[in-house]
Chains A and B, each alone.
Chain A
Amino acid sequence: MVFPLMNLGVAQILWIVFWIALVIVTLTTLAFYYHWGRFSPNHLGAIATIIVYTLGTAVLFLALLGVLISL
């Protein structure tokens, strides 16, 4: 029996991993924003946290995308 992923190239497997990561991080991010939006006792702290988190996540996803495109 051949494991189905063995038939795929490396790039295809990485694209699948990329999309799974994107879905998981998006769901986690929504939960994260929900908590900061609703429960943070300090609006400035919440806004700063959300900006830093969003920028960092975007940079990491863009870097992942860059690596995938280079393959």
Chain B
Amino acid sequence: MRFDDGEKIEVVIRKHWLVFAAALFIIGVFTVVPYVLIHILPAGIFGGIPASVAGPVTAFFYLLWLLILWVALFAFWTNYYLNIWIITDRRVIDIVQNGLFSRELITARLEKVQDVTTNTEGILHTLFDFGTVVIHTADDMVNIVITNAARPGLAREKILNAHAALLERAIHPGDSI
């Protein structure tokens, strides 16, 4: 991501950490459940396979399962960490990492921002202060939506302040220098 000369970052918005914590919890459950099942299931579950082979086979597939969960965890971490919204004093940049092989970048000039709305709905969202931020632009096709954004109220305030400062600079160009 390249910035213009003198372009200043006003705020960087990420998804709330609870989004990653939820994924971590689910992966934790998927790690523990098979381990418990292995110890609960009867020893003769593998039918004709002798016990001396069944143990290593179970260990092999459990390790393989852990490997899948490990890769999934880091793929999720990549999506979480590289999904960012950058508000500069000139632009709104929406970087969406949809998966390891999919990345989307939307840029809107700050002067095209018309309104910013936030929506915090639910007990967890209210307690941990995260929600949806929608940046409405003059172009109907480009509305930037940030779901599960951390501190949406603060993000809205920063965006609107940056927008107001940009308009101020446009009206009184000499004042900011």
Mark A residues whose CB is within 8 Å of B: 10, 14, 17, 21, 25, 28-29, 31-32, 35-36, 39-41, 45, 49, 53, 56-57, 60-61, 63-64, 67-68, 70-71
Contacts and interface: CB of A to CB of B under 8 A. Distances in A.
A31 B101 contact: yes
B75 A14 contact: no
Given A28-B75, A40-B81, A67-B56, A35 B97 contact: yes
Nearest to B46: A10
Interface stretch (B32-40, B62-70, B139-147, B150-158): B62-70
A37 to B, nearest CB: 12
B51 interface: no
Question: Top 6 closest A-B pairs, CB basis?
Answer: A31-B100, A60-B67, A67-B60, A53-B74, A64-B63, A67-B59
Contacts of B12: 41
Interface string B93-116: 001010011010000000000000
B17 interface: no
Nearest to A68: B60
A32 B81 contact: no
Interface string B1-32: 10000000000100000000000000000000
A71 B53 contact: yes
B67 A25 contact: yes
B71 interface: yes
A49 B64 contact: no
A28 B63 contact: no
Given A28-B75, A35-B78, A41-B84, 11 more contacts: A14-B57, A31-B100, A35-B100, A45-B81, A49-B77, A57-B67, A57-B71, A63-B63, A67-B59, A68-B60, A71-B53
Interface in B44-58: 49, 53, 56-57
